[in-house]
Amino acid sequence: MDFKHVKENEEKSVLEKKEKVDQDFWRQKYHLQGIVGLINDPNGFSQFKGKYHLFYQWNPLKTDHTAKYWGHSVSDDLLHWERKSTALRPDTWYSKNGVYSGSGIVINEKLYLFYTGNVKDEEGNRSSYQCFAISEDGENFERLEPSIVNQPDGYTRHIRDPKIWEKDGKYYAVIGIQSEKLEGKAVLYSSENVKDWKYLGEIAGGNKEPLGNFGYMWECPDYFQLKDEKTGKVVDILAACPQGLEPQGDLYNNKYQSGYFFGKLDYEKPDFEITSEFTELDRGHDFYAPQTMEDDEGRRIIVGWMGVPEEEDYPTVKNEWLHCLTLPRELKVIDGVLYQLPIDEMKSIRGEKTEFNGTVNGETEAGKGTVYEMIAEFSDFSDDFGLKLRTGKNSETVIKFDYKEKKLILDRSRGEQPDKKPRKVYLGEIEKLDLRIFVDNSSVEVFVNGGKEVFSSRIFPQKNADGIKVFSEGNVSIKIEKWEWRD
């Protein structure tokens, strides 16, 4: 097969489209995004020779999912990213229809990428290959022949997205898969040498205890452990993206979901004993396919795709680009609850500071800004209250606490984004509400009460929509600190 055209088409597309992309006022300032075209799942998230490496699904040709490359960026601080040459292209016989998602691991001072190669024949029949690529310098990758070909008995060819880790001198990989009964599952493999893999078995999934029907495919599984900072207990966490869950009230309102279970992984059975409900990682409109890594400081960092599969009708398409990644977040378990916290490095991009303090009844201006960080603390309330961000003509993003329902609501219905429905989460009886909010040119990320809940949503306001307002149906005390973005 001649794959010379794959790289040539990529480079041609970037040259043709980059200028138009760069002129779009919705381009993000401090979120990782593709140079042109579409990006989606974060891949190969790792730290190698002192630098953070983040790869991502990338289609440089169009704003759709018809081609899958691995874009590659590196950073010293998880915020300022330098684009490197494309790491993996669909230019081998075992990845000709897409280099699908996977993970990264450092072994003997080499960076290993473990990914899925996708192949379809002329009739559309799929073959899936779990493959490796190895780098000594973090930029040039040698690709190896597939290490796992297709699926074990009882499953379809939908097997992908390997997440790899090391334990007690052995390597393990959890992979998303679909059973022949069209049930989403997660399976476990092991290896002594990272190249030859043994199928161990199914560890979790739909219609496996204690779950009933739980989607027709599980994508992007992840497994890790965290120490509860209050109890000292080490807890196991299995994250996955089940496709096919029906909405249940305020839950599962995106097309596809991303969440986690607490439990315990038994490597011998094997089995992940689930001890909690499935909990969505993010309550916003745009969050999927997250991936975690442990950095040299011992932090468990998570990054997600700020988008959802099969939702490509965003207004940036006309400007030849689509989607971005979320801000990196640190994961912590505190008294049995998983928290997501903005990484400490976020403080390094704080610029000019302004404040707003007082008691509000009605609606009042509380500043201006288009790209900023805000900390808002509310107290002494007995009715509905909230914030309006990026306000202007036909533009407004509303964060509201419904006092009667005890729910926090994110409403982005006024803007050019297609999904106008609000997203909500139940907070219960609270005496104060703390919000840490990051606003970029086309996104908002809201960390609620120390990161106990998070909303991530793309927003597409008018160019000059820069108003910030506080509103309340009754009296509310508020304290706001806001920092302009500083590169």
Pairing of the two strands 99-107 and 81-83: unpaired
Q: What's the rounded Cα separation, in Å, for the pair 383 and 179?
A: 49
Task: State which amino acid sits at residue 61.
Answer: L
Which three-class secondary structure state does DSSP give residue 66?
A: coil
Asked if 380 and 358 count as a contact pair (C-beta separation under 8 A), the reply is no
Q: What's the rounded Cα separation, in Å, for the pair 187 and 197?
A: 12
**What is the tens place of the pLDDT at every residue in 270-281?**
999 999 999 999
Supply φ then ψ for residue 173, to 5 degrees: -140, 130
pLDDT band (50, 70, 90) for residue 3:
confident
**Residue ranges of the domains in the chain?**
4-342, 345-485
State the DSSP code for 181: T
Catalytic residues: 41
Residues 6+ apart with CB under 8 A from 208: 185, 202
What's the CATH number for 345-485? 2.60.120.560
pLDDT band (50, 70, 90) for residue 1:
low
Asked if 7 and 67 count as a contact pair (C-beta separation under 8 A), the reply is no
Q: What's the rounded Cα separation, in Å, for the pair 388 and 414?
A: 11
Q: Which helix (H) or strand (E) holds 13?
A: helix 4-22
pLDDT band (50, 70, 90) for residue 413:
very high
Asked if 360 and 474 count as a contact pair (C-beta separation under 8 A), the reply is no
What's the CATH number for 4-342? 2.115.10.20
Asked if 231 and 335 count as a contact pair (C-beta separation under 8 A), the reply is yes
pLDDT beyond 90 at 476:
yes
Q: Sign of the CA dihedral 226, 230, 233, 235?
A: negative
Q: What's the rounded Cα separation, in Å, for the pair 189 and 306?
A: 29
Query: What mean pLDDT value characterizes the chain?
Result: 96
Q: What percent of the chain has pLDDT over 70?
A: 100
**What is the tens place of the pLDDT at every residue in 23-56?**
999 999 999 999 999 999 999 999 999 999 999 9
pLDDT beyond 80 at 342:
yes
pLDDT band (50, 70, 90) for residue 122:
confident
